[in-house]
Structure 1
Amino acid sequence: MSPPPTSPTPVPPPTAAPQTSGFAQDALLSTGQWNAFDRSLGRQSPTSRWLGWRLRLLVTTALLGCLGVFFLAYWLAQQPLVGAAWRLTGNGQVELNLARDPLLKPAQGKTLEGLAGRDGKLVPVDGLALQRSARWLIDDVEGRRYLSTQRQLGQLLQSEQVQLRFSDGTMLDLRTHPRGFMGLGLLFWLLCSLALVVYGVAMAVLLARPNRLNSVYAVMACCQAANLVFIAVESTLDLAWPLGLADWDYYGRVALDLVTAAAVVHATAVYPRKVAHAGWWLLPVWVATAALVVLTTLDWLPAAWWWVQGACALLGMAAIALLTWSHGVEPHPFALVLRRFGIIAVTTWVLLSIAVAMARGESGVQQNISIIGSMIWYVFFASLLLLIPFLSKSQQMMREFSLLAAITTVATSLDLLFVATFSLGQVTSVTLALFVSLGLYVGARQWLLDRLMGSSVATTERMFEQLYKIAREVEARPDRTSSLLTRLLRELFEPLEILVVDKLTARSRVVADGSTLVVPVPNMVNPQPSAPTMGSIVIRFAHRGRKLFTAEDARLTDRIFEQLRRAVAFDKAVEQGRSEERMRLAQDLHDDIGARLLTLMYQAQSPEMEDYIRHTLQDLKTLTRGLAAQNHHLSDAAAEWKSDLVHRLNAAECELTWNVGLDRNVPLGVVQWSALTRVLRELANNAIAHSRATRVDVAMTLHGDRFELVVRDNGIGKNPASWSHGLGLGGIRKRVKQLGGEVEWREVMPQGIECRVFIAKFKPTD
């Protein structure tokens, strides 16, 4: 029962096989399944599909359906009618309740004995005549008597004049008149409208993708549309069916119910998971169904009502068992949703059958249950068939329909129970059932919503935090976009499987009847809306196979990725502005301060002053070069730091030992480069100025994410715990903390101080 496909425009064929990124190491798709699914990504668009003969045929079938309803209404409007409304008395007789014809006013409230024609032959009438359909009569004898009475009454009403005979001897001769369109009633038009909608959806599904499965769905939907039309005709009855239509109603509805039940089993046997050798298993189902239809039509089947009700219930249970098996083999959420609705439908069918059987012998109660209860069930089942093609379209629609189905099922079941078991009046039972079901609904609403929506949905704050982190990582490493987005989508939807495929798609969309969501990977190298995508992420079985993907999920992923694209573009714009500002500052420092220092150096009055200014120029050169550089790699920065320290320490006649061990060369951000430059420079100055060291050892290591810098001197410094942290030491602590690290000083033997900078999670801008 697949919905109309929602594939976008054709896309190029895949150039690489999918790579699994889900929880399980073994992919849930077999090779054949993946190839079929991969081909489905490139199907033609709905727009192109509906052009041509499909659209014309759909319009033609819709017009034929409308014309059929119109001609049926026209024919019913021409049928003869006696202007009276009847009701059932406590002793099972028919009483004139409301006289629309002035000639019947004197007989209002009297018990009808029968109708007679011009030949004077009386057709007896009792409470059985007010039953609207033989379909819900349990006893075979009563069913045959009902059909015989309806044939006689239909034949009698074809004459222009009939005689009504009442139990007190009153006889009234009346002329029949056409019912007219106004006499059909509002319920007739409502049920016919629903039947047209069900029929139209069936034709749309079948024509959108003609295949065996959609044909089975169309059979079910058309059968239920025909059932609704029969119920609509029943709603117009006062006392008698139009000639010959009562037989069509009984035998037709039996066949429609049995065919629908068999089609449900057929559909669940091939979808979502096909049973091995399904054709051989389904053959006896259809043979048994056809046999029941034939035997019932020929009146060769004793206790036919029980056979039909039991067969429909058993076939429904078989469908539920198949869906349970299917979900166990492959956790397709469509099977889980259909199983829930199937349990509701079968349970209410069984309860309705039990209620009708328990009310046997109480004609008034049984008629109310069979008329009202059966109509509610058929409307519910037709609505369920309408919902199936759109389960993956709207989560809100599915949620509200589920709640409506639950509350309606509870209310109907309680109403039938109160009427059949406690013999309550119709108004009393309906009122009590509504109050009880509403109370249960209010108490269990939140639990139901949690079950339908899932309780582990990511919060807005967490989603924003994830987007911010991913934007930063993607900006530095666009090649990791797929893996980062996979992690985000896994947290958002909790799927059983995520596949990254080299398949270009234009937008997110739901496929495979809501079990799969295909999401395009945005181009973060060029984060413009018009930029081509970088493959796709295929997500299967949301919330561990318990939920269907819907159109809202597709729109949500599109909005999330659009926000991510904007965040990356914004960060790039901000970084570009920062880079331009640093370039401007570096240029100004070089042109202005550098020129002035150079002038002062040439005008220096002593060699010491000249040497000091030369060192200052060297520091300025290092600073401006760092500000102007776009990228700083750790190995290049280490070489610059060594050169700077050699220059400083040589001027103070201090020896430098330099050791660097890096397992990888990573790029540094300006903040990292600036902080480490100033830390090294401050530590070297302290060793020269305060410790009066003659030797400085520097060791720098990077292993994985663990960065360590150790600076040791052989000076006179002692007891670092007692030092007062001024601007120098305080600046070192502040810069190391800014990098997410820790710093400590300790005294070493035989003399000197060792400073250790440790960053456990060194995050380079890679």
Structure 2
Amino acid sequence: MSSAPHSLPPDLHGTAPAGSGTLLSTGQWNAFSQRLGRHPPGRWLGWRLRLLAAATLLACLGVFSLAYWLAQQPKIGASWRTLADGSVELYATDDALLQAAQGRKLAGLSTDEHAFVPVDALTLQRSARWIIDDTRSRDYLRQQQLLQRLLAEPSLHLHFSDGSLLEVTPKPRGFGGLGLLFWLLCALALVVWGVTLSVVLSRPGRRNAIYAVMTLGQAGNLVFIAIESTLELVWPPHLAGWDLHCRVAFDLAAAAAAVHATAMYPRRIPRAPLAIALAWSAAALLLALSLAGWLPGVWWWVQGLGALMGAASIAVLTWSHRLEPNPFALVLRRFGGIVVGTWVLLTVALATADGQPGIQQNISIIGSMIWYVFFASLLLLIPFLSKSQQVMREFSLLAAITTVATSLDLLFVAAFSLGQLTSVTLALFVSLGLYVGARQWLLDRLMGSSVVTTERMFEQLYKIAREVEARPERTGPLLVRLLRDLFEPLEIHVVDKLTAASRVLNNGSTLVVPIPNMVNPQPQAPSMGSIVIRFAHRGRKLFTSEDARLTDRIFEQLRRAVAFDKAVEQGRSEERARIAQDLHDDIGARLLTLMYKSPTPEMEDYVRHTLQDLKTLTRGLAAQHHHLADAAAEWKSDLAHRLDAAECELGWNTSFDRNVPIGVVQWSALTRVLRELANNAIAHSRATRVDVTITLQQERLELVVRDNGIGRNPAAWTHGLGLGGIRKRVKQLGGDVEWKEVAPHGIECRVLIQQFRPTD
């Protein structure tokens, strides 16, 4: 079982991290940071598991004991219904003796020992809790006491309005006479009981105690409704009065607990103790006056206070969301609006049908049962709101269609006086039609639009993998940027606490994600801290376990991408080293032999220059890592050697804000660009001086090569292999190149790379 969502711990003293924002106070941050170091609770062992098993077994025994007791209660064996004039008609029976009286109106019951007790529409009312008038409620309870005495006799006389009399022998109803609805409602009550115990035992505290007050009260309501579903004319002994007082207590306690819970969670509002005290005092006072019989209009007071406290809870959640945009408050406010709205609708429908016994009876029986089942289901869902988006979406759709169907059913019965079967059928058809037509719109509203598409996600992962490989220390900021695009949170922080896997905290308002170790991208490598994300989609959505699994999968793919790139780069480095070694051992040795055997000094100089170029090339290929300053020194030496041979002067100037590492692709491309530009200045421009300037500011690299040769009008040049190769290599680095004529004479080539990053 999963526990209910947890709140932030009480404020402690300390300092919040820089940039933590204003939504999380200093004390809350320190307490919350301490919680990050805790591991999620494992499976239950010891006394909690044994206590849960014992309590569940005890509840099951209680239900079966109740069923056994009800099965022993006597019954007449007939179905009755209320007519429009308020009389009671024998509707259906399996008893051969009673079948002759089917369709007759029952006037009353008597026995040889007890006097005649009249029967009317009030007799078929299931619960005194839903009788509006106090006098009629008291009459109902007195009538039930008299009928219970009659049914306890061995024989019973049925008096019909036409003067006929039938004598029947009440028989035990047996387990088969309890009906399917009894077992379904008891099963739901057991589920509520089990979830409540698991929530309370998983993390005992005031918050879960409040949750238990609400859920256990609804479990009690479900048990009483289950008993009501077995009734014919008479309640089992002593239960009719208990039904009234217990259900009033359950409803008032649930209303006060709702105010208590929303005043404290998900965020404590100002003057919360005062609001809590007022809510519980009002509920206790109303219950005490009701039990003492000093409160006129008990039904109106209970319904009104329930609606008032429900509206107050919605207002408190709205206030809480303004103080802190927690999406859990929004979710509770939406469901709370449905609960309070249907409660008010049920109250209005029942009051409107007053004076119409049959209609009022249908509303009180069917409408109240649907409301209690829905409310109990909602309470069951609350601990699991942050577990699955699918569960929350489907329950939201179910809540919407149930609300519409119930509202239409009550409207058709109260306003148009339709029969029970007709109103239910028509309401279901209309609700299903609206559901089919609006399902996609509802899903779009619930799911929201995807902030990051799959294509964009893979693109960002690829970029992050390449940058993380070069600069592992930037893993945290890069992942923060990715998660900000993915979830649009109001707060996102990097903390030093280590977590094993992503997990959801604080009612689904917070997601804690471990930062993968990109220095050692192995699955078993320890994480490098955690990222704390709060209030997804600008505080409008809850984090769920699906979001936690999504982030784990994304980071796992990132880890694999980095590991794959490192493996590929290692293979490339080994291949380059092998090629460099082969060039040095084979081609280098042959060129050296050729240089010593050169017939002329000119040939010897040419071979010597070729050996120098080969040396530069093999050194660059063999090196696994280059830094810009080291590469610049090699370029200067190489160009100086080339220009000296042509009696051309070299001017060299570099300015780097930092000595960044560069990849082999960048080193090779820039080496060939510089060589080609120097060769052009010597061979075509006949320059006597070449000035080279290399500047790196932030990520902007600028390379300027200027000569004083005879070159003119570069726009009219034909781009052959040389100039075309320069353009191709600069484009490969993501930059631009341009040539222009300078005064008094000469050509300037400018290479500009806005985002100069390692590409290998």
> Could you tell me how far apart the structure 1 residues matched to 2:735 and 2:387 are?
50
Equivalent residue for 1:741? 735
Alpha-carbon offset, residue 573 of structure 1: 0.4
Equivalent residue for 1:311? 305
Please tell me whether residue 661 in structure 1 is matched to residue 655 in structure 2: yes
Equivalent residue for 2:578? 584
Alpha-carbon offset, residue 529 of structure 1: 0.3
Alpha-carbon offset, residue 479 of structure 1: 0.6
- Which residue of 400, 403, 425 maps to 2:397? 403
> Could you tell me how far apart the structure 1 residues matched to 2:741 and 2:282 are?
95
- Matched-pair contact (CA < 8 Å) for 1:5–1:209: no
After superposition, the C-alpha distances for 1:414-454 in whole angstroms (9 at most, x for unaligned) are 11112111222223322332233223323332332222222
The within-5 A match list for 1:253-292 is 253-292=247-286
Whichever residue aligns with residue 468 of structure 1, its letter is Y
Please tell me whether residue 464 in structure 1 is matched to residue 496 in structure 2: no
> Could you tell me how far apart the structure 1 residues matched to 2:210 and 2:90 are?
46
After superposition, the C-alpha distances for 1:515-549 in whole angstroms (9 at most, x for unaligned) are 11111111000000000011111111111111111
After superposition, the C-alpha distances for 1:267-322 in whole angstroms (9 at most, x for unaligned) are 11111122344333322322221121122223221111111100111111111111
Alpha-carbon offset, residue 18 of structure 1: 6.1
Please tell me whether residue 549 in structure 1 is matched to residue 543 in structure 2: yes
Alpha-carbon offset, residue 20 of structure 1: 5.0
Please tell me whether residue 29 in structure 1 is matched to residue 44 in structure 2: no
After superposition, the C-alpha distances for 1:113-142 in whole angstroms (9 at most, x for unaligned) are 111111251111112111111111111121
Equivalent residue for 1:46? 41
After superposition, the C-alpha distances for 1:202-227 in whole angstroms (9 at most, x for unaligned) are 11111111111111110110000000
Please tell me whether residue 77 in structure 1 is matched to residue 76 in structure 2: no
With structure 2 as the length reference, what TM-score do the two structures score? 0.96
Equivalent residue for 1:361? 355
Equivalent residue for 1:12? none
> Could you tell me how far apart the structure 2 residues matched to 1:569 and 1:172 are?
89
- Matched-pair contact (CA < 8 Å) for 1:20–1:497: no
Considering Cα pairs closer than 8 Å and 6+ residues apart, tell me whether 1 or 2 has the greater RCO: 1
Equivalent residue for 1:731? 725
The within-5 A match list for 1:6-405 is 19=17, 26-43=21-38, 45-47=40-42, 50-119=44-113, 121-405=115-399
Structure 1 residues 523 and 454: alpha-carbon distance in aligned structure 2, compared to 1, 3 A threshold: same
Alpha-carbon offset, residue 44 of structure 1: 5.5
The within-5 A match list for 1:450-599 is 450-599=444-593
- Matched-pair contact (CA < 8 Å) for 1:273–1:326: yes
Q: 3-state DSSP class of the match of 1:107?
A: coil
> Could you tell me how far apart the structure 1 residues matched to 2:94 and 2:225 are?
24
Alpha-carbon offset, residue 326 of structure 1: 0.8
**Further displaced range: 454-463 or 338-347:** 454-463
Identity of aligned residues (%): 73
**Further displaced range: 747-756 or 635-644:** 747-756
> Could you tell me how far apart the structure 2 residues matched to 1:239 and 1:67 are?
27
> Could you tell me how far apart the structure 1 residues matched to 2:202 and 2:229 are?
34
Alpha-carbon offset, residue 372 of structure 1: 0.5
Structure 1 residues 19 and 630: alpha-carbon distance in aligned structure 2, compared to 1, 3 A threshold: farther
> Could you tell me how far apart the structure 1 residues matched to 2:657 and 2:572 are?
30
Structure 2: give runs of 5+ residues left out of the alignment: 8-13
Q: 3-state DSSP class of the match of 1:47?
A: coil
- Matched-pair contact (CA < 8 Å) for 2:39–2:499: no
> Could you tell me how far apart the structure 2 residues matched to 1:731 and 1:45 are?
59
Whichever residue aligns with residue 276 of structure 2, its letter is L
Structure 1 residues 632 and 601: alpha-carbon distance in aligned structure 2, compared to 1, 3 A threshold: same
- Matched-pair contact (CA < 8 Å) for 1:114–1:164: yes
> Could you tell me how far apart the structure 2 residues matched to 1:734 and 1:260 are?
74
**Further displaced range: 436-445 or 682-691:** 436-445
Q: 3-state DSSP class of the match of 1:744?
A: strand
After superposition, the C-alpha distances for 1:651-706 in whole angstroms (9 at most, x for unaligned) are 11112121222222211111111111111111111111122222222222222222
> Could you tell me how far apart the structure 2 residues matched to 1:149 and 1:701 are?
100
- Matched-pair contact (CA < 8 Å) for 1:94–1:126: yes
Q: 3-state DSSP class of the match of 1:46?
A: coil
Alpha-carbon offset, residue 74 of structure 1: 0.5
Structure 1 residues 20 and 395: alpha-carbon distance in aligned structure 2, compared to 1, 3 A threshold: farther
Alpha-carbon offset, residue 764 of structure 1: 4.0
> Could you tell me how far apart the structure 2 residues matched to 1:661 and 1:105 are?
108
Structure 1 residues 585 and 235: alpha-carbon distance in aligned structure 2, compared to 1, 3 A threshold: same
After superposition, the C-alpha distances for 1:550-569 in whole angstroms (9 at most, x for unaligned) are 11111111111100100000
> Could you tell me how far apart the structure 2 residues matched to 1:330 and 1:120 are?
67
> Could you tell me how far apart the structure 2 residues matched to 1:99 and 1:407 are?
35
After superposition, the C-alpha distances for 1:682-731 in whole angstroms (9 at most, x for unaligned) are 11111111222222222222222222222222222222222211111111
> Could you tell me how far apart the structure 1 residues matched to 2:47 and 2:509 are?
30
**Further displaced range: 298-307 or 184-193:** 298-307
> Could you tell me how far apart the structure 2 residues matched to 1:343 and 1:746 are?
72
Whichever residue aligns with residue 350 of structure 2, its letter is V
> Could you tell me how far apart the structure 1 residues matched to 2:49 and 2:407 are?
42
Q: 3-state DSSP class of the match of 1:261?
A: helix
- Matched-pair contact (CA < 8 Å) for 1:5–1:46: no
- Matched-pair contact (CA < 8 Å) for 1:17–1:501: no
> Could you tell me how far apart the structure 2 residues matched to 1:422 and 1:438 are?
21
Please tell me whether residue 754 in structure 1 is matched to residue 745 in structure 2: no
Please tell me whether residue 763 in structure 1 is matched to residue 757 in structure 2: yes
Structure 1: give runs of 5+ residues left out of the alignment: 8-15
Structure 1 residues 765 and 723: alpha-carbon distance in aligned structure 2, compared to 1, 3 A threshold: closer
- Matched-pair contact (CA < 8 Å) for 2:114–2:150: no
> Could you tell me how far apart the structure 2 residues matched to 1:120 and 1:735 are?
111
Structure 1 residues 520 and 305: alpha-carbon distance in aligned structure 2, compared to 1, 3 A threshold: same
Q: 3-state DSSP class of the match of 1:60?
A: helix
> Could you tell me how far apart the structure 2 residues matched to 1:107 and 1:266 are?
55
Structure 1 residues 157 and 31: alpha-carbon distance in aligned structure 2, compared to 1, 3 A threshold: same
Structure 1 residues 521 and 85: alpha-carbon distance in aligned structure 2, compared to 1, 3 A threshold: same
- Matched-pair contact (CA < 8 Å) for 1:642–1:658: yes
**Further displaced range: 141-150 or 555-564:** 141-150
> Could you tell me how far apart the structure 2 residues matched to 1:389 and 1:663 are?
54
Q: 3-state DSSP class of the match of 2:42?
A: helix
After superposition, the C-alpha distances for 1:184-206 in whole angstroms (9 at most, x for unaligned) are 00000000000010111111111
Q: 3-state DSSP class of the match of 2:100?
A: helix
Q: 3-state DSSP class of the match of 2:734?
A: coil
Q: 3-state DSSP class of the match of 1:113?
A: strand
> Could you tell me how far apart the structure 2 residues matched to 1:20 and 1:507 are?
25
Q: CA RMSD in A?
A: 1.7
